Structure 1
């Protein structure tokens, strides 16, 4: 067997020893951690952990009865909760740079058609996750808290615990961030040939039922938040079907051009 590299192999000559891969991975991880640390340092100076928590709590505080405040039931909560929010905010702000480090590590081992597949997915999944979190914060929280407070008896004084609120916010952010990744999941399944576009269309009814079941499980037991999660998921499923047709057409490998792809 010839030991000369295939002239058509794009990756010929790019192989690296295992130790070099580990060293590069270490360097990439260090850069990502340093980036998060630098952002956290800037946020600590301005606007500060307390101000970040105030921003996160603003949708709830705006709907509390006049004179009500949030409380801390643990001695260290006033310190730990704002610090956790600061680190979370730093990670989210630095996430594009972190993902770039991941991309820079794996890109040399990918063929050109694989780069056309992976890079758009990394960028679009990041943007969709941020969009889901923003949708939750700016649109959903206000409606949910107003709906919940409208049911509160007059004899009850609301004083939510800050740790419980942080847990609620993290759950909702994660739920909406992942829900907005539905188009990415649809595109990946279609591109890998797991399911055709026609099959995805035929599964539309099942997905709608699944979306409402998921929304009922991961959101609070109120109609507003469940509809706010399920309806975007259904709409994004349609976006994913449309995007899958375009994505498959533009990310085929050289040997796949002549093959019939998934039915559009």
Structure 2
């Protein structure tokens, strides 16, 4: 009888544990959504949807002839597109809070050394993603839009649609944001033992080729913008290798010092 009672208790405990995890997950997701919505509401009040879209459209508008503006085909597009821009910016601003909610959910199940590794990686990932977006906005857009305006025939009126422009901007932001995550990916591969520093050095030629292929697919068909994505990707890959060397050197030096202390 006791054995039967123990067997009946084990499934109920597992069910309760699963339910508690689902409730915790729901709470963390709710906190994350509320955090994004709060930032979204603040941005709608100040600086406002129009001002945020004007800031996002500035690189394109600066390449248009004096007095020309972008156009909107849809009836409610001038209202919806600035809202989308504000929501996108709100998510980027609130991303640290969202990542904290994800961290709070998974942290109890991690080992101590995994916690030490995850926190710096999450922080560096956010910073690098933001730097990638900033690099795209302040440097890449200026070059790309000037190139497009320069090669447009005289018989064409260059007046981009605001919704198509938003889709292009979001694609480019995502592409450059992920590109700047390369050092984090390299560090994770080395730290988890999936790849060694020597192996990463050996595949450098393939990385260079892949960098230019990725740049050719994600950027407009001009050489300048492709180089502006491929070259940072290669440099960030090398930066990741340097960081992996430093990480691998620290444990070995610590082990040697502990061995010397033991021998003494």
Interval of TM-score (by shorter of Structure 1 and Structure 2): 0.7 to 0.9
In 2: Cα distance, 1:102 partner to 1:184 partner: 18
Equivalence for 1:148: 148
User: What is the Cα deviation at residue 154 of structure 1?
Assistant: 2.7
User: What is the Cα deviation at residue 51 of structure 1?
Assistant: 1.0
Equivalence for 1:247: 247
Distance 1:107 1:251, change over 3 A: farther
In 2: Cα distance, 1:156 partner to 1:188 partner: 49
In 2: Cα distance, 1:91 partner to 1:115 partner: 25
TM-score of the pair, normalised by structure 2: 0.86
Q: Aligned pair 1:116/2:116, yes or no?
A: yes
In 2: Cα distance, 1:100 partner to 1:68 partner: 44
Aligned partner of residue 97 in structure 1, secondary structure: helix
Equivalence for 2:217: 217
In 1: Cα distance, 2:102 partner to 2:166 partner: 29
Equivalence for 1:206: 206
For the aligned residue pairs, the C-alpha RMSD in angstroms reads 2.1
In 1: Cα distance, 2:195 partner to 2:167 partner: 36
More off after superposition, 228-237 vs 188-197? 188-197
In 1: Cα distance, 2:151 partner to 2:95 partner: 39
8 Å Cα contact 1:129/1:177 also seen in 2: yes
User: What is the Cα deviation at residue 156 of structure 1?
Assistant: 2.2
User: What is the Cα deviation at residue 178 of structure 1?
Assistant: 0.6
TM-score of the pair, normalised by structure 1: 0.86
Aligned partner of residue 17 in structure 1, secondary structure: helix
Q: Aligned pair 1:53/2:53, yes or no?
A: yes
Q: Aligned pair 1:90/2:90, yes or no?
A: yes
1:124-163 correspondence runs (5 A): 124-163=124-163
8 Å Cα contact 1:216/1:226 also seen in 2: yes
Equivalence for 2:233: 233
Equivalence for 1:3: none
Gap runs ≥5 in structure 1? 1-15, 259-264
User: What is the Cα deviation at residue 121 of structure 1?
Assistant: 1.1
In 2: Cα distance, 1:132 partner to 1:39 partner: 22
Equivalence for 1:68: 68
8 Å Cα contact 1:211/1:234 also seen in 2: yes
Greater Cα radius of gyration, structure 1 or 2: 2
Q: Can you list the C-alpha shifts for 1:158-188, whole angstroms capped at 9, x where unaligned? A: 1100011001101100110010011111111
Aligned residues: 241
In 2: Cα distance, 1:78 partner to 1:131 partner: 29
Equivalence for 2:197: 197
In 2: Cα distance, 1:18 partner to 1:182 partner: 35
Distance 1:37 1:229, change over 3 A: same
User: What is the Cα deviation at residue 107 of structure 1?
Assistant: 1.1
Equivalence for 2:43: 43
8 Å Cα contact 1:116/1:251 also seen in 2: no
